[in-house]
A and B are shown apart, each in its own frame.
Chain A
Amino acid sequence: MNRIINDPDDVVEDALKGLTAAHPDLLAGTAHPRVIRVAGAGAVGRVGVVTGGGSGHEPAFVGYVGPGLLDAVAIGEVFASPTARAFEAAFKAADGGRGVACLYGNYAGDNMNVKMAVRLAARDGLAVRTVVANDDAASAPPDERGKRRGVAGEILMWKTAAALAAEGADLETVIAVAQKTIDATRSVGIGLSACTIPAAGKPNFSIADGTMEVGIGHHGEPGIAVRPIAPARAMAATMMETILADLPFARGDDVAVLVSGLGATPVMELYILYAHVAEILAEAGIRVRHRFVGNYFTSLEMMGASVTLTRLDAELDRLLGAKARSIGLTVTGDA
Chain B
Amino acid sequence: MSDTIDLAAAGPILHDMIKVIVDNAALLNDLDGAVGDGDHGVNMSKGFRRTGQKLDAAPTGLGEGFGVLAETLLDEIGGSMGPLYGSFFLDMSTFLRGRTTLDRDGFAAMLRAGVAAVVDLGEGRLGDKSLVDVLVPARDAFDAAAGRGEDFSACLGSLDDAAERGFASTRDLVAKIGRASRLGERSRGHLDAGAASCRMLLHALADGLRRQLDD
CB distance from A92 to the nearest CB of B (A): 14
CB distance from A36 to the nearest CB of B (A): 16
A197 to B38, CA, bound (A): 13
Is A200 located at the chain interface by the 8 A CB criterion? yes
Q: Judging by beta carbons under 8 Å apart, are A80 and B79 in contact?
A: yes
A83 to B87, CA, bound (A): 13
Binding-face segment, B11-19, B24-32, B69-77, B200-208: B69-77
Contacts of B106 in A (CB 8 A): none
CB distance from B185 to the nearest CB of A (A): 14
A76 to B84, CA, bound (A): 17
Contacts of B82 in A (CB 8 A): 83-84, 113
Scan residues 155-185 of chain B and give those whose CB is less than 8 A from a CB of chain A: 177-179, 182
How many residues in B have their beta carbons less than 8 Å from beta carbons of A?
Answer: 20
Q: Judging by beta carbons under 8 Å apart, are B78 and A80 in contact?
A: yes
Is A81 located at the chain interface by the 8 A CB criterion? yes
Q: Judging by beta carbons under 8 Å apart, are A86 and B78 in contact?
A: yes
A84 to B87, CA, bound (A): 10
Contacts of B121 in A (CB 8 A): 112, 115-116
Cβ 8 A contact of B74, one of A76, A83, A108, A221: A83
Contacts of B177 in A (CB 8 A): 108
Q: Judging by beta carbons under 8 Å apart, are A84 and B86 in contact?
A: yes
Is B67 located at the chain interface by the 8 A CB criterion? no
Is B56 located at the chain interface by the 8 A CB criterion? no
Q: Judging by beta carbons under 8 Å apart, are A77 and B78 in contact?
A: yes
Is B61 located at the chain interface by the 8 A CB criterion? no
Is B2 located at the chain interface by the 8 A CB criterion? no
Q: Is the interface of B mostly helix, strand, loop or mixed?
A: helix
Q: Judging by beta carbons under 8 Å apart, are B80 and A108 in contact?
A: yes
Scan residues 67-86 of chain A and give those whose CB is less than 8 A from a CB of chain B: 76-77, 80-86
Cβ 8 A contact of B122, one of A76, A77, A84, A112: A112
Q: Judging by beta carbons under 8 Å apart, are B83 and A221 in contact?
A: no
Cβ 8 A contact of A81, one of B74, B75, B79, B182: B79
Is A222 located at the chain interface by the 8 A CB criterion? yes
Contacts of B23 in A (CB 8 A): none
Give the interface centre of B74, B75, B87 by most chain A CB atoms within 10 Å.
B74
A76 to B78, CA, bound (A): 7
Contacts of A84 in B (CB 8 A): 74, 82-83, 86
A273 to B56, CA, bound (A): 59
Q: Judging by beta carbons under 8 Å apart, are A112 and B84 in contact?
A: yes
Cβ contacts A to B, 8 pairs, < 8 Å = A83-B75, A109-B79, A109-B80, A113-B78, A115-B83, A116-B74, A116-B83, A197-B37
Question: A85-B74, A112-B80, A120-B74 provided; 13 other pairs, C-beta below 8 A?
Answer: A80-B78, A82-B78, A83-B78, A84-B74, A84-B82, A84-B86, A85-B75, A108-B122, A108-B177, A108-B179, A112-B121, A113-B82, A116-B83
**Interface residues, chain B, with chain A CB atoms under 8 Å away:** 37-38, 74-80, 82-84, 86-87, 121-122, 177-179, 182
